[in-house]
């Protein structure tokens, strides 16, 4: 393991990472969520810190330890994640790994009872944290998004890069057994084209991405 005591390639840089799912409460005991262990995002936060960056990790609910040297802010909902990201700015780079729930519902104050029938859940669209950051006056110099796709992985990710205003999209092929596992097949989509990375353990994806970020920030 490499440890930089204040003299790594990312020393002096502040990098924001989002990770994990968000939970959107339905009532005090139920929620809507995306499937995400948080492992890839936590590995990236740790790898960036190892290269000397000051890392702020805005995390949804996960069962993971905070990587050494990382400042962690816990949130539950997408709206809380958006606020925490806002408060953590400015940053030199942001890596949005979180699997943000696309919708929320107005949560009931009391537990819904099934005897009263299936509740009609009115879904509202959550803020798009990445797209908002891309348009913000405090946009980080390097903005990296993730895209978990089950089909036409690179095609969807390439469109997403442009639509959301990200510099890079790490396209993650989740058609296999990735969720919660330790390996990942990713493609790095940039303005220059697409790089196919061989299947790698999540911590190796993290280290390679951290090194690419260090090179890009100079
Ligand atoms: N993202 C975000 N805020 C949201 C939704 C997504 O910041 N409300 C970020 C994710 O962290 C990720 C990127 O946007 O870096 C892509 O997320 P994804 O869910 O793949 O994109 P969507 O635009 O939500 O498209 P889809 O319909 O495929 O879910
Ligand atoms: Ca989504």
Tens-digit pLDDT profile for residues 135-149? 999 999 999 999 999
pTM of the model: 0.95
Predicted local distance difference test score (pLDDT) of residue 116: 86
Position 182 confidence tier, pLDDT thresholds 50, 70, 90: confident
Distance between CA atoms of 187 and 88, rounded to whole angstroms? 28
Of residues 135, 131, 156, the one with CA closest to residue 145: 131
Mutate to test the pocket of ligand 1, among 103, 130, 155, 165 (most ligand atoms within 8 A of CB): 130
How far apart CA 162 and CA 81 sit, in angstroms, is 23
User: Does residue 78 contact residue 104 with C-beta atoms inside 8 Å?
Assistant: yes
Asked if residue 13 belongs to a known ligand binding site, the reply is no
Report d(CA 85, CA 69) in Å as an integer: 19
Any idea which of 7-11, 36-40, 75-79, 176-180 has the lowest mean pLDDT?
176-180
202 is in an annotated binding site: no
94 forms bridges with which residues in the sheet?
A: 16, 143
- ipTM tops the 0.90 cut: yes
pLDDT tens, 124-136? 999 999 999 999 9
Question: 149 is written with which tokens?
Answer: 């796709």
93-115 residue pLDDT tens: 999 999 999 999 999 999 999 99
Whether the pLDDT of residue 28 is over 70: the answer is: yes
Q: Which residue CA neighbors atom 18 of ligand 1 most closely?
A: 147
Mutate to test the pocket of ligand 1, among 45, 93, 98 (most ligand atoms within 8 A of CB): 98
Note the pLDDT of residue 48. 98
Biggest alpha carbon–alpha carbon distance for the chain: 62
Of 94, 90, 181, nearest in space to 146 by CA: 94
**Residue 181: is its pLDDT beyond 80?**
no
The residues that are catalytic are 34
Query: How many A from CA of 102 to the centre of ligand 2?
Result: 5
- Structure tokens given for 88: 């953590």
207 CA distance to ligand 1 centroid (A)? 23
- Beta-bridged to residue 186, according to DSSP, are 172
Q: Which of 53, 140, 66, 65 is nearest to 96 (CA)?
A: 140
Whole-number average pLDDT of the chain:
94
Ligand with smallest separation from the Cα of 21: 1
């Amino acid at each position: 393991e490499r440890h930089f005591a204040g003299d790594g390639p990312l020393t002096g840089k502040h990098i924001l990472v989002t990770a994990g799912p968000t939970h959107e409460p339905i009532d005090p005991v139920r929620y809507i969520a995306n499937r995400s262990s948080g492992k890839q995002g936590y590995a990236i936060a740790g790898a960036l810190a190892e290269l000397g960056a000051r890392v702020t990790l805005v995390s949804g609910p996960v069962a993971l330890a905070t990587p050494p040297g990382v400042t962690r802010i816990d949130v539950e909902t997408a709206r809380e994640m958006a606020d925490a990201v806002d408060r953590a700015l400015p940053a030199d780079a942001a890596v949005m790994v979180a699997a943000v729930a696309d919708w929320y519902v107005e949560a009931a104050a009391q537990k819904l009872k099934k005897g009263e029938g299936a509740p009609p859940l009115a879904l509202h669209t959550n803020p798009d944290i990445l797209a908002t950051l891309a348009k913000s006056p405090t946009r980080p110099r390097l903005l990296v998004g993730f895209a978990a796709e089950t089909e036409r992985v690179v095609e969807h990710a390439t469109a997403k890069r442009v639509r959301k205003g990200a510099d890079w999209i790490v396209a993650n092929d989740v058609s296999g057994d990735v969720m919660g596992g330790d390996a990942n097949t990713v493609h790095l989509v940039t303005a220059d084209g697409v790089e196919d990375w061989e299947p790698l353990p999540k911590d190796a994806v993290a280290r390679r991405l951290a090194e690419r970020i260090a090179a890009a920030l100079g």
